[in-house]
Structure 1
Amino acid sequence: MRRVEHVMGFPVSLRVDDADVPERAADAVFAWLREADARFSPFRPDSEVSRLDRGEVTGPSAGLRDVLALCEEYRAATGGAFDVRLPGRGLDPCAVVKGWSVQKAAGLLTAAGARRFCLNAGGDVVAAGGPWRVGVRHPDHAGRLCTVLEVADAAVATSARYERGDHIVDGRTGRPATGLLSMTVVAPTLTEADTVATAAFALGAEGVEWAASREGCEVFAVDADRRVFRTAGLPVAA
């Protein structure tokens, strides 16, 4: 089974290698991602996030409570570098919502009996079974790779400046985080991989050691001086 749809502002591709998984499992994945976008996008004025930010929601849903709890966990863990409530800006939990919602979509596939699949959401990947090969883009050259990872039952996420410019802000200073060019994290879930990658990027150069210290996380990073850092357990393809 293979499917590609545009959801949450980026392409989402799904490949399922199990022959006995019904097509409706893919339908459920994309229906959930569309629902998550409608509920949690700060760019939709009628979303739950936007209504909460305007004070129109007094009791957030269980899903939004989970997202906000993760946001606070990482704000505290980074000393405020990662912050979804920046001064002068509305509530923007996208850095948590993407990985969290895609991981839940992967859970739907597992519940439907899928054992070997790859769910790629704008370059961030949940890989079940495997091994799967995941390329890490060169921060300066779109057509080149820095490395290729080989993962099984894991997730890979990258935060970088090459697609959206200096869009990640250090909440401690209110200025764009520019200490890193790219930060790739391999973790057991995309919730962790995506949030750790963004939080580490917000920390700047010190984010490399911080991300590497997180339990279950392996790191590949390129700093602003184009120095490359990788943890010993990074699953680099042979």
Structure 2
Amino acid sequence: MEFFIKRIQLAFTALIFLSALIPSAAQAGLFTKKTSIMGTDLEVTVSVEDASLADAAFSSVEDEMARIEALMSEWKEGTPVSDINRHAGIKPVAVPDEVFKIITDAVLISEASGGAFDVTWASMRGLWSFTPGNERLPSKDEVDGRLGLVDYRNIVLDPAKKTVYLKKRGMAIGLGAISKGYAVDFAMKMIASSGIKDAIVKAGGDMRVQGRGPDGPWKIGIRDPREKDRLIATLEVSNASISTSGDYERSFIKDGVLYHHIMDPKTGFPARGTRSVTVLGPDTETTDALSTAVFVLGPVAGMGLIKSLKGIEALIVDSNGRIHSSPGISLVATVAPARP
């Protein structure tokens, strides 16, 4: 993961927000396939002359992401991450190099964000449910009873032995807010290794854009956090990663209050002050984790973090619908988000 690299150059024509990718399927040589993996929607678009090349690329992406899921899922029994969680407070667990790297990167982002990003949030699992028809809002006492388990500083890493140890029984880690970005990066590497230069890999809110579309730089649209089918910006971009975290994907309303899945590790409740965060950077692992961190920090502290990192840009829609953008993003025009 490269925080400190030269500033990426992005070509913008319109505005800047993100979420919905809209390449036209009618364009010659453009092939798109959609499926589900790693608990999210996967969409792969490639620009090639032959459908067989596209099919091979899709298969390689699915295989690679399935491989990474088998390493990093905390939901599946027998994975390295499940083993770490099962042995919390008992003993260190030796893990493959890839898993050790991702957890090390996660801790670095936790440190950089003052704990706003924290993979030990998974210690709260089971208290909240955002499943439609089965929503669950825990009591403050329930949350407080688990909050002491959420602290990335209680992850002990041994680089020599490649072991991971969670100090307290009941602790757990979940890599969903960083591993999907990592998987997107590796999926794009698989596509590139097959000789395809122009492609997009999008998993949920995480996207890697490589090369160009049929008519120039790829055109990306960013959705309004409050109106699903309405774009508040578009951009043209090549060779960059883009991630969005928003309060609208997994959420429910109870007694007039919106509860969403992006938790503040310090409170155990949904982070407030932000509707959506879009982060642009050199790799999707980084943008994935940072979009969560910035969302939790809020517009002011979050933008402060972005400005401290070279090669990273962001656009934030705050809880009042105001747009905040980092200096490296040129806004040509904007459409105000819907209120509230």
TM-score, length-scaled by structure 2: 0.65
Which of 311, 314, 329 is the equivalent residue of 1:234?
329
Q: Distance in 2 between matches of 1:183 and 1:57?
A: 35
Q: Distance in 1 between matches of 2:219 and 2:206?
A: 13
Paired position in structure 1 for 2:315: 220
Q: Is the 8 A contact 1:150 1:236 kept in 2?
A: no
Counterpart mapping for 1:24-63 below 5 A: 24-55=56-87, 58-63=93-98
SS class of match (2:236): strand
Which of 183, 188, 191 is the equivalent residue of 1:101?
183
Higher relative contact order (CA 8 A, sep 6+): 2
Q: CA deviation at 1:235?
A: 5.8
Which of 163, 166, 175 is the equivalent residue of 2:269?
175
SS class of match (2:109): helix
SS class of match (1:175): coil
What CA RMSD, in Å, does the superposition of the two structures yield over aligned residues? 2.0
CA radius of gyration, larger in = 2
Q: CA deviation at 1:234?
A: 2.2
Paired position in structure 2 for 1:5: 35
SS class of match (2:188): helix
Which of 91, 110, 113 is the equivalent residue of 1:75?
110
Paired position in structure 1 for 2:231: 145
Cα deviation code 1:5-26 (max 9, x no counterpart): 2111222111111337463332
For structure 1, which segment, 30-39 or 14-23, has the greater mean C-alpha deviation from structure 2 after superposition? 14-23
Q: Distance in 2 between matches of 1:106 and 1:100?
A: 10
Which of 247, 250, 260 is the equivalent residue of 1:161?
247
SS class of match (1:53): helix
Cα deviation code 1:158-216 (max 9, x no counterpart): 00101113212222333321121100011111112111111111212321231243211
Q: Distance in 1 between matches of 2:312 and 2:240?
A: 10
State the one-letter code of the partner of 1:155: S
Gaps of 5+ in 2: 1-30, 126-171, 252-259, 334-340
Paired position in structure 2 for 1:84: 119
Q: Distance in 1 between matches of 2:184 and 2:32?
A: 16
Which of 302, 306, 318 is the equivalent residue of 1:211?
306
Q: Distance in 2 between matches of 1:181 and 1:219?
A: 14
SS class of match (1:85): helix
For structure 1, which segment, 196-205 or 93-102, has the greater mean C-alpha deviation from structure 2 after superposition? 196-205
For structure 1, which segment, 16-25 or 38-47, has the greater mean C-alpha deviation from structure 2 after superposition? 16-25
State the one-letter code of the partner of 1:186: L
State the one-letter code of the partner of 1:8: M
1:17 matched to 2:47 = yes
Paired position in structure 2 for 1:129: 211
For structure 1, which segment, 55-64 or 71-80, has the greater mean C-alpha deviation from structure 2 after superposition? 55-64
TM-score, length-scaled by structure 1: 0.92
Paired position in structure 1 for 2:280: 186
Q: Is the 8 A contact 1:150 1:237 kept in 2?
A: no
SS class of match (2:228): coil
1:119 matched to 2:213 = no
Cα deviation code 1:75-131 (max 9, x no counterpart): 100111111113545211111101011111111111211111111112421111121
Q: CA deviation at 1:145?
A: 1.2
Gaps of 5+ in 1: none
Q: Is the 8 A contact 1:149 1:235 kept in 2?
A: no
Matched length: 238
Q: Distance in 1 between matches of 2:219 and 2:307?
A: 21
Q: Percent identity?
A: 31
Q: Distance in 2 between matches of 1:116 and 1:37?
A: 25
Q: Is the 8 A contact 1:118 1:128 kept in 2?
A: yes
